[in-house]
Structure 1
């Protein structure tokens, strides 16, 4: 009976250790995924800002004050 109790205690200890490690890995994975999500959002925001700036600069170069193009297609 003592041996059985010791075995069960050992198995419980091993299981608890595995559960703790699994939880640590899951937390690390979630943290990595969150960092990746934030990085992607940051890159997307930079692209949007860059596109808006390029469009604004181009429109500033090619548009009249009323927003119509000052340059027409020669065809």
Structure 2
């Protein structure tokens, strides 16, 4: 990811996680959104891309090591 600031937001498919992912990053930032519900993440990604954010989607349970590793790799 090449954005000026990098974010990893967990629980991004709904609630507070979605609000943070949607509202906190600024134009040009790079964001990794993580949650278990991929369709909700893809909808959020589409919304964020329209705001000129670089977005990577990682679907999975953040309590699992594999998901943590995929999120970290996506943020690089």
Structure-1-length-normalised TM-score: 0.21
Structure number with the higher strand fraction is 2
- If each structure's helix is expressed as a fraction of its own residues, which one has the higher value? 1
Instruction: State the structure with more CA Rg.
Output: 1
